[in-house]
Structure 1
C-alpha cells in the first residue's frame, strides 16, 4: 500500500493506492501544525478501513508528501536569519540581480529588497578566475573573523557564493570548512555544490534561498518522519520536488530549495497521464483549483514544460530560485478566494483567501467574508448536506447573509446576481492565467483539452473551457486530489550539472566525455542506492548551448551518453539548430554553437505508470434534481448525477450537476458530460 499526501492552503489531500484500487480522503489543513492535518487525513483513511491508525500505517510501504511549507515561509518572511558571503568587491549580486525591469521607464518604482540585506552580506578576500586559476589566495583569518561576527548577530544560516567557484571550488570548500568549525550549529549552503552553473545572481539567489530554508524544513521533515514513525509507519518517506519528481525526505532536508513548488508540480504529471489515456497526443491545459490558488500549466507532445526562470513573486521584483522547475503559473483564485467591493464600487475576487482557518463563511469556523465556495453554495451548485460526502455540513444561511451585506447590497443587485458575478469574475481571472501560457505563446486553446483538478475545479471548469473555446474538458476521477495522485505517478529523480565551455569549431571531446563519464557514475550510484529496486532506470544527458555572441542558452538533449566522434557532434549541433527553431521560430544553420553547462538526469520508475481505479458507488447514477441558478436560465430544477456511480457512456446534458464526495462539477447549459472508459468525466463543449 502507498500513500500520497498534498498539504494545500485549505485541505490536506490523501490518496491511498491499495493494489489496483485508489481511495481519496480530505482533511482540513492545520496551519499551526501542518503535520497534524496529515495525520488527520491518515486517520480518515484508517477509519475507512476499519482499523486503528497504527495498524493501518504498519501496512503502508511508501509515503509521498507534497507541501507548500517552503514557499509559504518565503512569501511570509518566516525563513531563518541568513547571511550571504561573496567575493570581495561584489556585495551587490543580490541587489542588482540581472538588470531586468517590468516598467523600464517608471522611475517611481522602488528597487526591490535583496533576499539577504546588506548588513548580513559579507565580503571574503579571495579571487578565482574564469579558467579556475587563483588570482588572490583566500584570507582564512578574515573568514574566521566573519564567522565570529555571524555568531554575534545570531545568524541561523549562511549562503556562500564566490566568483567562479564552479570553475575551481577550492576557496568555497575552505570557507565552508571554516564556518563548520566556528559555527557548528549553523546551516551552510555552498553554491558550487547546490547549483554549479553560470550566472552569478541565479547561483547566489539559489544558495541563500536554500540556506534560509534549511532550519525550517529540517525541523518540519524531522517532525513529519518522527510523528509518522510514532504513529506506526515504518516505510519510506519521499518528498515531491519542484522538478516534477520525488526525492527521499532526508535529501530534501539537505537541499530544501527542491521543495519550493512541490505541490503544484505534480498536477501536470497526473494531467499528462489522464490526457494520454483518454485523448492521445492533444495539447493539454492542466488547471488545478484549490482553496487558495489556481495553478495552470501546459503539456505538449507529452512533455511537461519546465523553466529555469522561476520567480518567487513578480518577475524582476521578486527572487529567482535559479533552479529548474515545472513551469506552473499561479494566481490567487480558488474556492476560498474572498469576494469584496472596493472603495470605487467594483467587485473584487481574491487574491486574499480565507484558507482553512477560518475558511469560507459556510464552514462555520469563524469566517466572516464571503468566498467563491460560499457563492457556489448560494447558487445551488454545492449540496450543503453532502460536502465532503456529508462529513462537513455547510451553513447556507450564513453564506447568504455575508454575501448580501458585503457584496449584493453594496452593488444594489440581487443575491443570486451577486453570487453569479463572483463566479464569473473568478472565471475571467482563470481565463487570463491560461491565456498567458497559451495565446501569449502562440498556442490555440481551441486545439487543447483542459484537465480540471482540485476540489474546486468543477465549479467553473466547464465555464472556463467554454470561454477559451477548448476542444473539451476532462475531470479525472482523482481530479479532486490531482496533485496527490500525480505524486504516486512520479519518478525518483536527481540531476547533476558541470560547467565546461567548448565550441563546435574546437570541441573538447576528451574533456566533455570525461565529464559525462563522471556524471554517469554519479547517476548510476543514485540508481544503485536510493533507486535500488526500481522497475526501470533511465539516464538522460543534455547541454545548455547558444550561438556565438548570444547571452542566453537553451537546453538541448544529447542523444547518447558520449560524444565519441565528429558525427555525434554534428548530430548535437543539428539538434541545437532544430531546438532554437522550435522555441524562437528562427535559427542560423550555418553558424556554429557554444556549449556551456552539461547536465545528467537519472529517473528511477518505482511502479508502472498510471493510477488505480476508484471503487464504484453502490447508489444509482441519478440522484434526483436540485434548484440551481445560471445567469442564462435563472433558477431551474436540474438533474443531479453521482460521479462514482455513472457507468461509462452515460451522458448527462446540461444544465446539470455531477457530484462526488469530494467535488461538484457544474455542467453548463449547452454542454454534455459523459463518463469515459478510463473513469474520468468528459464534457463536450
Structure 2
C-alpha cells in the first residue's frame, strides 16, 4: 500500500512516503499564503503519483498558529443564564506570583459576543429549568446582525446531560447553515466549567479557518484523481479522518510536532532505550518530550500560549514542551544592550538573511552559517544556496554593531542563547519530572535538531545522542507509524468501590457505543480496534487526578484492591510518595480506542540494514565551537556514504541532504547497523574551550 505523510511547519513542508515498497522523502519551503502549494511541491519533488496513493497523512500548525496569532473567526458564546463571565474570570490562581506584568488569559471571545439563555441542568443530569427556545431564536437575530462566523455553545453541566445543547445546536444549524457551530458535549464531556468552555471556544475560534484549509487540501488531492483516505494527525499522537478534523479542529492543535515524538518512541523501543528525550528543532520552534518505554507521555490537558496566560484545552495531548527557538528565530537587542533570540521567527518568507530574499534580520541559521557549522553549498542538498555574506551583514547591523562585538562573537552569542533556551525545554521534560537526564538519551531530529542537540546534551550531561535516518523529515515519517486513535471521557464522581454498579456499567456501555460509532464513521474495522478503559483517580481532598487502567467496571463498584495498588504506584512514581491509607475517589471514566496500522514498512525501515552510497571524499574547514577567536579545524563528512560501523570523532560536521550533525571536540559518532548515528557525548569536556 502506498502512503505518504506530509508535515507543514512554519518554515518547511516535509514529506516521507512508503511508495512501491521503498521510502521516499522531500523537503520544500512552506507557502504561508497557501500551504496546499507546499503539499503539491513536496509530492512533485518526491516523484509521487497521487493517483496511486492509498492514504495521505497530514499534520499542520495552522490550528495552533491561528490561536497564537489570534487570527480566528469572529466567534460568539452561548451559555447558561448567570454564567456569562465564567470564561472571562477563569481561575483565581496567579501562576507567576512575582511578575509585575502578569495578566490573566485574554478570552478569544469578547463579553459583548457572549449570550445567556434561560435553562438549567444539575450535575446529575436532571432538568431544573427547561430551555427557552424563543430566547435562542432571539439570539440568532443578534448573531446575524453582528456578523458572527462561529458559535460556541457551552451550558452548565452539559457533560451530564447534553439535551439542551443538542436542541440549541439544531436551531442554530437550521437557521444559519453557514455558521460554524461547536457544542461542548461533542468535544468533551468532562466537568471543570472554565476549561470546558475554553476548549469549546478554541474549537469554534479556529474552526472556519482550519475547515477552509482542509477542504482546499481535500479538493486539491481529489482534483489529482486521488481516491484514498486522508487522515489528520491528532494532538494525542493518533490520527483521525479529515471529516472529523473539520468538525473538531481543536484536536489537531499539536498536529505536526507529536508525529515526530511517535517516531522517536518507536526508534527508542527498537534500540532498547528505556528513557529517551525526543528533541525536534525546526525553523520556528524547538520541542522536547519525555519518552519512557517507547511511548511519549500523554497529559489530560494543555495550555496553548504558555501556562500563565495561555488558553486551556481539556483534551489529551502528547506532553511536549515548546520554546520559540528555531533555525529561523530572530536575534535582537533590547534598549539595555541585552541579546535575545526569538520568539519571533523569520518563517519561510522572507526567511533568514542568508536565503537572499531581502531579510535584514539575523536568525539562528545565519549564526550557524557564519560559525562554519553549515555548508552554504549543501543546504537542502544543494537546492538552496546560502549567502554567508548576507548573514554576516545582518549580524553586524543588528547584533555585532550595537554590542560592539565581532561578527563571529555575535554569531556565537546567538547560538549559545538559543541552546540555553532549548536546554530549559529538555530540563522541563526530564529533571522537572524526576528523571535524571544522565540516564537518558536524546533522539534529535528536525532540520536543525542534530546541529544543536550535542550542545544541549553537554549542557545537562546527557551522555548519548541518537540521530535517526532522515532526521530532517522525521516528523513526517512518524505520521506513517501513528495509529488511529480516539479518546472519550464521561465525568462519574464518587468513592472508589462504592459507585452504583448499574451506573458504572451504563457509562462503560455508552462510551463503548460511542467508540464503535467513530470506528464506523472513519471506516475502521472493529476487529482490529483495541478498547482500553481508564479511571481518573485521586486521594480524597486532592484537586488533580491520575488516569489509571481499569480491567472491568466491577473494580469501581466492588473489589478495587488491584486498582488501588496501581494508583498508589503511579502516584509514587509521579510525586515521589503515596498514601495507601487514604481513601480514593473516582472523577472521570475514560476510553481510549486505537486501531494499529496494517502496514508496518515505516517501523521496519527503522531497523533495516543500512546501505551506504558510493564514497565521497571528506573535506575540512574551520568551525567555531566555544571561542570565536579560536576556530577548530573540523572534518566534514557526507553521511549517506558512511558505512556501518564507521566512526567519526569530533570536531566534525556530518552533512546530509536535509540536516547537519555537529560533533564537538571529544564526541564520537558511530553508524549503527540500521544507519542511525549513535553519538557518545564527551560530557566531561563540556564548557572547556
Please give the TM-score of this superposition, normalised by the length of structure 1. Answer: 0.95
**1:533/1:18 CA distance change after superposition, 3 Å:** farther
Task: Provide the C-alpha distance between the structure 1 equivalents of 2:70 and 2:490, rounded to a whole number of angstroms.
Answer: 32
Pairing partner for 2:162 from 160, 169, 190: 169
Tell me how far 1:563 sits from its aligned partner.
4.4
Asked if structure 2 preserves the Cα contact closer than 8 Å seen for 1:531 and 1:604, the reply is no
Pairing partner for 2:484 from 481, 489, 492: 492
Pairing partner for 2:426 from 404, 425, 434: 434
Cα deviations across residues 451-474 of structure 1 (Å, max 9, x unaligned)?
Answer: 111001122211111111112001
Cα deviations across residues 389-413 of structure 1 (Å, max 9, x unaligned)?
Answer: 1111111111122222322233222
Asked if structure 2 preserves the Cα contact closer than 8 Å seen for 1:83 and 1:116, the reply is yes
Pairing partner for 2:124 from 106, 126, 131: 131
Pairing partner for 1:140 from 130, 133, 141: 133
Task: Provide the C-alpha distance between the structure 2 equivalents of 1:145 and 1:11, rounded to a whole number of angstroms.
Answer: 47
Task: Provide the C-alpha distance between the structure 2 equivalents of 1:107 and 1:417, rounded to a whole number of angstroms.
Answer: 34
Asked if structure 1 preserves the Cα contact closer than 8 Å seen for 2:277 and 2:288, the reply is yes
Deviates more, 1:212-221 or 1:116-125: 212-221
Residue 662 of structure 2 aligns with which residue? 666
Residue 10 of structure 1 aligns with which residue? 11
Asked if structure 2 preserves the Cα contact closer than 8 Å seen for 1:195 and 1:203, the reply is yes
Residue 206 of structure 1 aligns with which residue? 199
Deviates more, 1:192-201 or 1:539-548: 539-548
- What are the residue-to-residue correspondences of 1:440-459 with 2, within 5 Å? 440-459=432-451
Q: Point out where structure 2 has 5 or more consecutive residues left out of the alignment.
A: 682-689
Residue 543 of structure 2 aligns with which residue? 551
- Partner of 1:579: helix, strand, or coil? helix
Deviates more, 1:8-17 or 1:638-647: 638-647
- What are the residue-to-residue correspondences of 1:283-294 with 2, within 5 Å? 283-294=275-286
Tell me how far 1:434 sits from its aligned partner.
1.4
Residue 602 of structure 1 aligns with which residue? 593
Match status 1:575 vs 2:570: no
- What are the residue-to-residue correspondences of 1:411-426 with 2, within 5 Å? 411-426=403-418
**1:111/1:500 CA distance change after superposition, 3 Å:** closer
Asked if structure 2 preserves the Cα contact closer than 8 Å seen for 1:22 and 1:611, the reply is no
Asked if structure 2 preserves the Cα contact closer than 8 Å seen for 1:61 and 1:235, the reply is yes
- What are the residue-to-residue correspondences of 1:76-475 with 2, within 5 Å? 76-104=69-97, 109-278=102-271, 280-475=272-467
Match status 1:31 vs 2:23: no
Task: Provide the C-alpha distance between the structure 1 equivalents of 2:270 and 2:180, rounded to a whole number of angstroms.
Answer: 45
Asked if structure 2 preserves the Cα contact closer than 8 Å seen for 1:282 and 1:447, the reply is no
Tell me how far 1:515 sits from its aligned partner.
1.9
Task: Provide the C-alpha distance between the structure 1 equivalents of 2:483 and 2:670, rounded to a whole number of angstroms.
Answer: 31
Asked if structure 2 preserves the Cα contact closer than 8 Å seen for 1:534 and 1:605, the reply is no
- Partner of 1:71: helix, strand, or coil? helix
Tell me how far 1:191 sits from its aligned partner.
1.0
Cα RMSD for the two superposed structures: 2.0
Task: Provide the C-alpha distance between the structure 1 equivalents of 2:209 and 2:369, rounded to a whole number of angstroms.
Answer: 38
Tell me how far 1:176 sits from its aligned partner.
1.3
**1:653/1:109 CA distance change after superposition, 3 Å:** closer
**1:475/1:106 CA distance change after superposition, 3 Å:** closer
Asked if structure 1 preserves the Cα contact closer than 8 Å seen for 2:108 and 2:205, the reply is no
Residue 637 of structure 2 aligns with which residue? 641
Asked if structure 2 preserves the Cα contact closer than 8 Å seen for 1:498 and 1:599, the reply is yes
**1:107/1:659 CA distance change after superposition, 3 Å:** closer
Asked if structure 2 preserves the Cα contact closer than 8 Å seen for 1:492 and 1:531, the reply is no
Cα deviations across residues 74-105 of structure 1 (Å, max 9, x unaligned)?
Answer: 11121111111111011111112122212346
Residue 21 of structure 1 aligns with which residue? 22
- Partner of 1:26: helix, strand, or coil? strand
Residue 57 of structure 1 aligns with which residue? 50
Please give the TM-score of this superposition, normalised by the length of structure 2. Answer: 0.94
Task: Provide the C-alpha distance between the structure 1 equivalents of 2:262 and 2:201, rounded to a whole number of angstroms.
Answer: 29
Asked if structure 2 preserves the Cα contact closer than 8 Å seen for 1:502 and 1:594, the reply is yes
Residue 686 of structure 2 aligns with which residue? none
Pairing partner for 2:625 from 630, 634, 637: 630
